[in-house]
Structures are given as structure tokens and as C-alpha cells.
């Protein structure tokens, strides 16, 4: 069971579930909540029995963004660094997690909540879910990586329109645009997320995470450089126990049993 205040953190059968848990505030992010997210991610890094993570929200929203009433803890100090130490470290931790990350968007994902949703390896959304930037509505620019992450997914023109108009993107459109991987009936969301997490938790964890890293790294490499990087990483992954098990299982015509090592 969870021993946190603003999140729920549970593990079962190799799958961890991290639920943002301020439903009365539509899971608006606070510094305390995001530091709890960091603590939960540290537990995952330390506990190698955990082989996949589901990130979702309690109640009727995934996350409505930053709670604007919640100020950086270092009043009078470097506020940018305070946000980097809290929010960026949590988002970077999600993007570089030791295990596959499934994001289950159960309602509105707004502002920074939109950015948190984009950290997933597999992003599932309930059919009633929607994505909205909201920043220009309050006279601000998108932050928490929105201007970095969103154009890479939907392209510059769509990203700018989403950011400048605050038009909500419904789940079915998000699927069409490649913003999410799955759009499912509301009542099926968590069951589908758990099925996906269970499947990935039984996979070759290091190879799956290295695959994510290669896809992300490709954005900054030319083709020849990237092919070389793939081969270099393949040499590392090929020496793992899971790779050896996978090859043996293929030769012996049986199902591989991966351990995440």
C-alpha cells in the first residue's frame, strides 16, 4: 500500500501503479506531489522486482496542470532552479525510467499534465479524455517541456495551433494524430493498461528500455551515426541474460522466460 499523501503507489506482480491523488483539485500538481513522484520513481529504480509502471490519475481527471496557488518552496531564491529540481527531475525520471512506462489518461490532461502524459512509452486514453494546453488562456507560454515534446509528436503547425488556441484535443483525434497509442472505452482503460503493463513486465526489460533510448536519440543523429549507435547498443544488450535466453528459446522453439536482466 501507499504511504504517500498526494499520490498512491502500489505494486503487484511486477507492475507498479502511480496514481496522482488530488481528485478534488483534478490532480493539479504541487511541489509536494511532484516530490512524492520523484520518491516513487526512486523506489522503482531500487526495486528490480518492478518491471513496468502505470501512471494515471484519481477521479475524473488525469492532471489539470500545475496548481497556480502553489509557489516554489524557495521564495526569494532561484525560482527557475526550484522548478527544475522538482518538476523537471520528475519528468526526466519518467522519460528515462528503468522500466517501460504506460500512461493511462483517464480524463483531462492540461498544461503540465499534458506534458506528463507525453512521457509515456505507451500512452492510452479513455474515449472521453481530452488534452489541452491552457497556457495562453492565462497569458503564459507553454512550459514543462511542452514546446519540446508536442511538436515532435504532432508537428509544428498542429502544435502551435493547439498551444495558441487552447482548443481541446479529444482522445479519438489524439489517436489519429499519433499523440496516443490507444483510445479505449472509459470503463476498459485501467484493465487495458494493466494488460499492457503485465505484457511488458514479462519482456526483456533492458532491451525494451534501450529501444526507447534509441528512438529518442535518433532525433539528434544522422542516419549513419544512428545505425552505428544501434549496433553499439546491440553489443551491450546482446550480452544480457535475457538476450541469451531469447536466442536459446528461439532455437529450441519455446517461449522465452525473461527476468529483466
Summarize pLDDT for 151-206 with one digit per residue, the tens: 999 999 999 999 999 999 999 999 999 999 999 999 999 999 999 999 999 999 99
Q: Which residues contact 239 (CB under 8 A, 6 or more apart)?
A: none
d(CA 57, CA 130): 13
Window from 37-46, 73-82, 104-113, 215-224 with minimum mean pLDDT: 73-82
Q: Which residues contact 37 (CB under 8 A, 6 or more apart)?
A: 7, 18, 20, 90, 93, 94
- What pLDDT does residue 149 have? 93
- Cell numbers for 10, please give them: 502500489
Residue 73 has pLDDT above 90, yes or no: no
d(CA 260, CA 242): 7
Average pLDDT, the chain: 95
Average of per-residue pLDDT across 211-240: 95
- What pLDDT does residue 57 have? 98
The fold for domain 7-201 equals 2-enoyl-CoA Hydratase; Chain A, domain 1 (3.90.226)
Domain boundaries, the chain: 7-201, 205-251
d(CA 204, CA 81): 36
Amino acid at each position: 500500500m501507499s504511504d504517500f499523501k498526494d499520490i498512491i503507489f502500489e505494486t503487484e506482480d511486477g507492475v507498479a501503479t502511480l496514481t496522482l491523488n488530488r481528485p478534488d483539485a483534478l490532480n493539479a500538481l504541487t511541489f509536494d506531489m511532484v516530490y512524492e513522484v520523484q520518491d516513487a520513481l526512486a523506489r522503482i529504480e531500487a526495486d528490480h522486482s518492478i518491471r513496468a509502471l502505470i501512471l494515471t490519475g484519481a477521479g475524473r481527471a488525469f492532471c489539470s496542470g500545475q496548481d497556480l496557488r502553489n509557489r516554489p518552496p524557495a521564495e526569494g531564491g532561484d525560482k527557475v532552479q526550484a522548478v527544475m529540481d522538482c518538476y523537471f527531475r520528475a519528468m526526466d525520471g519518467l522519460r528515462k525510467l528503468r522500466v517501460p512506462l504506460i500512461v493511462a489518461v483517464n480524463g483531462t490532461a492540461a498544461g503540465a499534465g499534458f506534458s506528463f502524459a507525453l512521457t509515456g512509452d505507451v500512452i492510452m486514453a479513455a474515449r472521453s479524455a481530452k488534452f489541452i494546453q491552457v497556457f495562453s488562456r492565462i497569458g503564459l507560454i507553454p512550459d514543462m517541456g511542452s514546446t519540446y515534446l508536442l511538436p515532435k509528436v504532432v508537428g509544428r503547425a498542429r502544435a502551435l495551433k493547439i498551444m495558441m488556441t487552447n482548443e481541446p484535443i479529444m482522445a479519438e483525434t489524439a489517436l489519429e494524430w499519433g499523440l496516443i497509442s490507444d483510445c479505449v472505452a472509459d470503463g476498459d482503460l485501467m484493465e487495458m493498461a494493466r494488460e499492457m503493463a503485465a505484457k511488458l513486465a514479462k519482456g526483456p526489460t533492458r532491451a525494451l528500455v534501450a529501444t526507447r533510448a534509441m528512438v529518442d536519440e535518433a532525433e539528434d543523429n544522422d542516419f549513419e551515426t544512428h545505425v552505428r549507435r544501434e549496433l553499439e547498443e546491440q553489443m551491450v544488450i546482446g550480452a544480457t541474460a535475457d538476450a541469451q535466453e531469447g536466442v536459446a528459446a528461439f532455437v529450441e522453439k519455446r517461449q522465452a522466460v525473461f527476468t529483466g536482466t
